[in-house]
């Protein structure tokens, strides 16, 4: 990736709805070479997909809960059942396997504590868990979907536009 690719990525992270012509103009290319670069970034998997970011409060899911899960079952069969159970719960928007004292971390969005209780009950009904601890976010200080681009690999020579 060169500087133009990084500019394209920065623009798309800020607004995936920009037209190819708008992006081309902002990065100093004509539309066809810009489109080719975007297609190449998509084909390489750098751009996984383009989405709309929705307002959680407008959709009545403004409460964020971080759920820490510990298990005493560390085998592939248990994990497959756990992952399948989590997949069926749309309120779980992020799911990570962790290193350290916590085995898994889930980020859940719901309207209120009662709704989270329903999510919790569905989760424990689906799979045996050793310990579950939930923390409710009081305030969102920073939230972004934009990834830092400073670490992206750079070519040793300039690429043709």
2-13 pLDDT, tens digit each:
999 999 999 999
Please report the pLDDT score of residue 154 as a whole number: 86
Q: Which domains does the chain have, with CATH numbers?
A: 3-43 (1.10.10.10), 63-136 (3.30.70.920)
The Cα 33–Cα 40 span in angstroms is 10
The Cα 23–Cα 11 span in angstroms is 7
Find out whether 134 and 116 touch, Cβ atoms under 8 Å: yes
Q: What is the pLDDT of residues 145-155, one digit of tens each?
A: 999 999 999 87
Please report the pLDDT score of residue 155 as a whole number: 79
Which percentage of the chain shows pLDDT scores above 70? 96
Please report the pLDDT score of residue 157 as a whole number: 56
Q: In what order do the strands lie in the sheet with 104-110?
A: 92-97, 104-110, 63-70, 131-136
Q: What is the pLDDT of residues 70-99, one digit of tens each?
A: 999 999 999 999 999 999 999 999 999 999
Q: Which two tokens stand for residue 55?
A: 């307002």
Whether residue 160 is predicted with pLDDT greater than 90 in this model: the reply is no
Give 134's pLDDT tier (boundaries 50, 70, 90): very high
Q: What is the pLDDT of residues 9-29, one digit of tens each?
A: 999 999 999 999 999 999 999
Find out whether 91 and 61 touch, Cβ atoms under 8 Å: yes
Find out whether 85 and 126 touch, Cβ atoms under 8 Å: yes
Which percentage of the chain shows pLDDT scores above 90? 94
Find out whether 27 and 50 touch, Cβ atoms under 8 Å: no
- The pTM (predicted TM-score) of the whole model is 0.87
């Amino acid at each position: 990736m060169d500087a133009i690719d990084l500019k394209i990525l920065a623009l798309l992270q800020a607004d995936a709805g920009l037209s190819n012509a708008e992006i081309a103009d902002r990065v100093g290319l004509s539309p066809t070479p810009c489109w080719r670069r975007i297609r190449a970034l998509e084909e390489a998997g750098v751009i996984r997909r383009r989405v709309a970011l929705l307002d959680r409060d407008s959709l009545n899911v403004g409460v964020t809960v971080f759920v820490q899960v510990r298990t005493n079952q560390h085998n592939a069969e248990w994990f497959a059942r756990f992952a399948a159970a989590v997949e069926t719960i749309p309120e779980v928007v992020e799911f990570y396997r962790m290193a350290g004292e916590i085995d898994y971390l889930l980020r859940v969005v719901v309207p209120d504590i009662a709704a989270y209780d329903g999510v919790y009950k569905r989760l424990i009904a689906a799979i045996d868990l050793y310990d579950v601890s939930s923390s409710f976010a009081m305030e969102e200080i920073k939230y972004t979907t934009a990834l830092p681009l400073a670490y992206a690999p750079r070519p040793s020579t300039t690429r043709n536009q």
